[in-house]
């Protein structure tokens, strides 16, 4: 049989060799380093037997795909260790996630705490040292149900699989788990593991089911990589937006309104600057701005499909004996605005934007600072167009997203989410056309994307923009959703070139996603040290002596304020060193110390946040520098 390798070379091998045997025939060193393979574009175990011509990549720990295989195997090793310590344990699911893995565990009457994690790590280390082979086995559905009959969670997962489905299990020592694989050849590779935290998680994400214990962990091939990652995690803790939000007086949370954040004066400045930036960019892009009511009649939500598909997340109330709902999304209000007028093809693309406050009922256990709240402001827009405009308009949107994210130095990748298997509206052929149009738009820009099957909104497929911050974390923010269904449900029309009434196509899109969440991301991205244009206080004036130098501070204060610079004077009767340290703690971009020389001249001596050097310039030079940074969004 002929095997073609990644570099384009090919070689003949006898039929029926495993990938490990092929690696051995190439070189002993490759056999020793091999951990898995990609056979005909599919990841497989080293034990996989090749019986025909094929393309093959033999993976080592240096390949980017290998880290997920390691972490997948580490999740199984953790489950095996837990089972050895808690024999009654049963297991839900244990997937690989960004930067690590988790496993959901039912411990019966036992309770796992953070202090138990080192004990589990120690058991994992012993199992890794034993170098247990990880063996794949294919079973029928009936065989799998019998094998896992003592584990209700596995039985439920297997029962949901169609009859005739190939079911695979992986065994290492005395532990067997249900899994598609692939996995490492043995446990010896899983040396650099750290269990990180615990959380509660309902089985299959349903609050009606039992709450399991979710154990999070991570694994790396090299000890140095694990060490570096743990240092990054410590830095992330320091950047926690809840901690910094309190220290920098940005926002507060109250037990009187769980999930409903309170914005403090400093936070309002950041928020307003973001909103003003958003308005300016969108007006330049030709958007018309509207505002729709927060509460609307149930009948509207029935038409939109939200009542059927989203009712559990909506807050409702009765007004004049009629049922109303607080909006969880802005779209239906936007439909009513569109229907108010008669539209022509000449109006298209019609871009309508709204910073709309929405409310969604989130489980109390899911609430998390600004990241998961119950009321938030979506930077929404709806773009109405003809079907032949889709590719061009989506491409224009992607360019707009790219510009806005670049302002904050956030990189991103795009995921294309397709029709859900259940709970969707509209015809499948309509979905197919919409999904192809989104893919074509990305192709026209030369943009790569990841396919995310079944994760579209109930009314249409979408492009999700996953941002990567300075701490290498991924955030879901922007989205472009192509909707051919709501215009149908709301009977939206336009007068086409031939004079006939036709149905428009609509794009839903948000760039920040949620202003609240985006601010939380920015707090951690910048570690609270916002760029000058976003900073609540841009300049802090510090007198050396409050009695002697305060008049000079007040003169500068007035001068800066007249130029539109956000400035404060530290009037406290404290030592100079304390005031300087405090300005650093508050992460104010510029601090200016006013002494005898500054008081008697037009010079200012400033220090930039995070730097030790002091710079002396004229007040005009300083003002021009700051205004330039504000203008250029720096």
Query: Catalytic residues, which ones?
Result: 331, 360, 378, 380, 382, 462, 508
Output the six-digit token pair for 445. 């820009």
CA atoms within 13 A on the CB side of 138: 6
C-alpha closest to that of 554 among 512, 587, 616, 598: 598
Contact indicator for 44, 19 with CB cutoff of 8 Å: yes
Q: Is there a contact between 194 and 177 (Cβ–Cβ < 8 Å)?
A: no
Phi, psi of 262 (to 5 degrees): -105, 130
Nearest to 616 by CA among 590, 596, 598: 598
What DSSP letter does each residue of 569-612 carry, written as one string?
E---S--HHHHHHHHHHTT-SEEEEE-HHHHTSSEEEEEETT--
Return the closest-CA partner of residue 515 out of 206, 215, 173, 273.
273
Burial string for 17-51 (b: 16+ CB within 10 Å, else e) reads bbbbbbbeebeeeebeebbbbbbeeebbbbbbebe
3-state secondary structure of 149: coil
**Contact between residue 241 and residue 370 where contact means Cβ atoms under 8 Å apart:** yes
Q: What 3 state SS string does 49-84 have?
A: EECCCEEEEEECCCCCCHHHHHHHHHHHHHHHHHHH
Q: How many CB atoms lie within 10 A of CB 394?
A: 25
Rg value, the chain, Cα: 29
Helix (H, G, I), strand (E, B) or coil at 118: helix
Separation between Cα atoms, residue 219 and residue 203, nearest integer Å:
25
Q: Which residues contact 254 (CB under 8 A, 6 or more apart)?
A: 260, 262
Which H helix or E strand runs over 242?
helix 241-247
Closest CA to 282 of 400, 189, 115, 105: 400
Residue that is written with structure tokens 């974390």 in the block: 473
Which three-class secondary structure string do you get for 243-293? HHHHHCCCEECCCCCCCCCEECHHHHHHHHHHHHHHHHHHHHCCCEECCCC
Burial of 533 from C-beta contacts in 10 A (0-12 / 13-18 / 19+): middle
**Per the structure block, which two tokens stand in for 206?**
């349903």
3-state secondary structure 211-223: EEEEEEEEEECCH
DSSP 500: -
Count of all residues that appear for the chain in the document: 634
Token pair recorded at residue 172: 């290492």
Let me know: does 418 contact 456? Beta carbons within 8 Å: yes
Respond yes or no on whether the N-terminal peptide bond of residue 182 is cis (omega within 30° of 0): yes
């Amino acid at each position: 049989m002929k095997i073609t390798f990644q570099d384009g070379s090919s070689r003949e091998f006898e039929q029926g060799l495993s990938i490990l045997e092929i690696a051995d025939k190439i070189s002993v060193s490759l056999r020793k380093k091999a951990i898995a393979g990609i056979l005909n574009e599919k990841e497989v175990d080293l034990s996989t037997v090749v019986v025909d011509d094929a393309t093959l990549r033999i993976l080592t720990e240096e390949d980017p795909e290998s880290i997920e295989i390691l972490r997948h195997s580490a999740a199984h090793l953790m489950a095996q260790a837990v089972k050895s310590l808690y024999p009654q344990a049963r297991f839900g699911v244990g997937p690989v996630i960004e930067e690590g893995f988790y496993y959901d565990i039912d411990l019966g009457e036992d309770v796992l705490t953070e202090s138990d994690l080192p004990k589990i790590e120690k058991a994992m280390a012993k199992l890794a040292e034993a170098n247990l082979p990880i063996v794949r086995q294919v079973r029928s559905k009936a065989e799998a149900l019998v094998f896992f009959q003592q584990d209700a969670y596995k039985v439920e997962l297997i029962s949901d699989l169609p009859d005739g489905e190939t079911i695979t299990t992986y065994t290492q020592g005395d532990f067997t788990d249900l899994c598609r694989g692939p996995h490492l050849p043995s446990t010896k590779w899983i040396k650099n593991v750290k269990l990180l935290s615990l959380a509660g998680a309902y089985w299959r994400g349903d609050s009606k089911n039992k709450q399991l214990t979710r154990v999070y962990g991570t694994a790396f091939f090299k000890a140095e990589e694990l060490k570096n990652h743990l240092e990054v995690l410590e830095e992330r803790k320091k950047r926690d937006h809840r901690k910094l939000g309190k220290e920098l007086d940005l926002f507060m949370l109250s037990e009187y309104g769980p999930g409903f954040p309170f914005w403090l004066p400093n936070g309002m400045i950041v928020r307003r600057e973001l909103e003003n930036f958003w308005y300016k960019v969108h007006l330049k892009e030709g958007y018309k701005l509207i505002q729709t009511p927060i509460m609307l009649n149930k009948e509207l939500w029935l038409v939109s499909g939200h009542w059927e598909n989203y009712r559990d997340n909506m807050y409702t109330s009765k007004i004049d004996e009629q049922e109303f709902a607080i909006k969880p999304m802005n779209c239906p209000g936007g439909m009513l605005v569109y229907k108010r007028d008669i539209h022509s093809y000449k109006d298209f693309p019609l871009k309508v934007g709204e910073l709309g406050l929405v409310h969604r009922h989130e489980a109390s256990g899911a609430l998390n600072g600004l990241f998961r709240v119950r009321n938030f402001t979506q930077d929404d827009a709806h773009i109405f167009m003809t079907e032949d405009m889709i590719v061009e308009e989506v491409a224009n949107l992607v360019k707009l997203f790219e510009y806005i994210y670049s302002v904050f130095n956030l990189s991103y990748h795009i995921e294309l989410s397709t029709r859900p298997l259940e709970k969707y509206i509209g015809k499948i052929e309509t979905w197919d056309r919409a999904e192809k149009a989104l893919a074509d738009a990305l192709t026209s820009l030369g943009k790569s994307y990841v396919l995310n099957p079944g994760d579209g909104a109930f009314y249409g497929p979408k492009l999700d923009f996953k941002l990567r911050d300075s701490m290498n974390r991924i955030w879901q923010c922007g989205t472009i959703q192509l909707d051919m269904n709501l215009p149908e449900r709301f009977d939206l029309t336009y007068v086409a070139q031939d004079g006939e009434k036709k149905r428009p196509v609509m794009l839903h899109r948000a760039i920040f996603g949620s202003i609240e969440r985006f601010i939380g991301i920015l707090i951690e991205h910048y570690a609270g040290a916002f760029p000058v244009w976003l900073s609540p206080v841009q300049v802090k004036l510090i007198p050396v002596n409050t009695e002697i130098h305060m008049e000079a501070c007040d003169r500068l204060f007035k001068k800066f304020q007249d130029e539109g610079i956000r400035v404060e004077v530290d009037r406290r009767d404290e030592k100079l060193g304390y005031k300087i340290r405090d300005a650093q703690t508050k992460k104010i971009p510029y601090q200016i110390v006013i002494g005898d020389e500054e008081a008697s001249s037009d010079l200012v001596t400033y220090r930039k946040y995070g730097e030790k050097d002091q710079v002396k310039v004229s007040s005009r030079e300083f003002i021009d520098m700051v205004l330039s940074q504000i203008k250029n969004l720096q």
